[in-house]
A and B are shown apart, each in its own frame.
Chain A
Amino acid sequence: MLCISVVGVMLAAMGRIAISRPGLLLIFFFFFFAFAWRLLSVLYIDVFGPVYSEQLERELGPGFAVLPLAGSQALVLAALLISFRPRRLRALSDDSVIRLSAVLKTGDWSLTHVAFRVVGLFVLALWIELLIRGHIPLFAGLERFDYARLYGGPLNQRLLEWGPMLAFQLGILLSLPALYGKPLDKRFGALFAALILYLFAVGHRFSSFYLYLSFLMVPMGAALLGKQFKGQISLAKLLRRVWLPALGFVLLVGVALVYSYGVVRAGETVAIQTKLVQRILVQQGEMWWMTYERVFLHNDWNSDHAFFKLFVDPFNPNRNSTMQFLMEIGLPLERAHFIIAQGAAYTGGWPEVLFELGGPAEGFCLVAISAILFSEFMFLLTRCLVEERYVTCFFLTPVFYTLSIFLVSGMVNSFIQLTFMIKIAAAVFAYVLEDRWRWSMITATASVAGQAVV
């Protein structure tokens, strides 16, 4: 009963944020969805346990594993609410914010026109590449991984690496008119739809659509936040506006899932119900349950070993070391290495990795630190979006992607890569450059108009 109440409170808190601030829901949809799913999965294991896990080949539950998980998620929600507090949001409203267009002279080569042509060419080239290579997974019954490995071209590969970040850029351009109270720029909506249809054709299912859509919605959420204090936006109004594309999207995801399980994996249909229960209710929470059992029940954690396996000697340093480490300590070593070598990984990672590093008490401190850093970064990103700092947003995108993947799958080894440090350096440079340049422009404009700059 305690577990159910705690999960109920957490879901209610997320629902309350969604209703009162739909902008925040759009910005954090990726995280809220993952959080809610994991909570329900762990609750299922806690309440209906012992539950057999196919992946771990053991029974899980019952217990109180959902309590520390809900506590960790509550810390993130609290940090988000503090970072996005009303005073700060008021500073982002139309009355207070100074946008780029206000300080920039008009001229040739519109940003949106150029971006539309560049991204349009890329999407067109993607489709051409798919057609000339001849194997369309949708019709050939191929898995997306097999297509990428056997037939996927260089553009397909680039999309797999950078796709969510491209979706984020499309979101910025799509929602740009919304900052001025205009309808969304449908050209970029069409490009996104073409991209999603491409993913559907190359065998992607739920997870890619969820990731791309979440990244597309972040800038739209930032644009909505700017309107929050004018009282124009409510969740119902928002849903009324986007019901048609949303319905189309849901239908596409449904068709992709049915096609995947019904046609591509037709041989497995006998066990489809078991597979769905495992996929939806067990696999999302099983790794957290293992961490809960080790750290909270048996007090068995080793920071040094965790640090070594995460940062110094992961089995495959080119992939998420967190899940590799969790699998190594949760499964027989040979089986874990066999699965990792196949390229597969289980679900979860955050906050497991922080409790494996810090133990039950310091783990919460690490969760709090990660929550504060994340929420402050998200506010910075939102501010840059609202103030139309496009160059900064462009360079913040890979950092945002890395942080998002950390908060969902606990990936920490990307933070120590040289490429990530270069991305951070580029983002710092772009931020300071654009910030100082904006200030110089604002002061120059204010001096001409004879106004004081605060």
Chain B
Amino acid sequence: MSEPRERAAEVEAFGRDFQNLKNEVQKEIVGYDRVVEQVLTCLFAGGHVLLEGVPGLGKTLLVRTLAKALAVRFSRVQFSPDLMPADIVGTQVLVTSPDGGKEFRFQRGPVFSNIVLADEVNRTTPKTQAALLEAMQEHSVTVGGVTHHLEEPFFVLGTQNPIDMEGTYPLPEAQVDRFLFKLRIGYLDEASLLKVIDRTTSTETARIETVLTPERIQAMRGLVREVAVADHVKRYAVRLATSTHPEGQHAPASIRRYVKFGASPRGILGLILAGKVRALTQGRINLSGEDLRWALHPTLRHRVILNFEGEAEGITSDTLLDEIVAAVDEEALAHSA
């Protein structure tokens, strides 16, 4: 058991580092404060992010800037229909050894980085997608019978374009579930756009400084796991997630009507982890219901699969999640302890 003051200092340092990193990213990225915060939350929670938005909103820039602010290796993969799994994870190449002989040597692919930008991940074939998603899940790749562990922190940011769906391979639900967050990037307001113009069309360029090392990121990830979670808060998280199940006992009427599949157990874990990061950023060493509500939409929106009726009526999973938040009584769960 660590000393209270030490732990309090760690929490304070976490919040400070998080804020520093955020500030660095925001030197380049304008107007997406919440998205930046959520991406960083996902980074420290140990998950991966799926960014969805129309072209030209700065998704790639966001990831690139984040990589600059962290002293980590960054790679970008532009997904295309002819991209092969080996192009991502690497392949065995025949090389001549110093003694003149021939041997196979593993040529590492771009996935062997700390931050991987999988641009337009839905434009490649499912086979290639599966290779990436396996690496995301296992944090390792196996080529030629040899398992290669990926270096930590390993953080994948996938982007996809919701329009121009012709010739794309939408990610199956099981694979989307591997992403901790799905973030939707919308259009900027006028004030933010003016700032973007100033920053990108002049000679001045923002200088991004490195604020965190991989070791520090790992330490911060470790602290996230130390955040205390009370039973009633866990019950609240579970109730929020199970309320998305259309056949569930506590599902609101709209969920029963419009939802085909609800959140998976992985979604609940993600909710808790993301909430923990949020708690630390707020200077707390305990998870609260408020943190869970904050993390609910990015964590569960891609895990709530609408049925035909929901799609036809233009219902969004965000709307349904709002209804769940309103329907679940947090205090009642504390009383029933």
Q: A and B: partners?
A: no
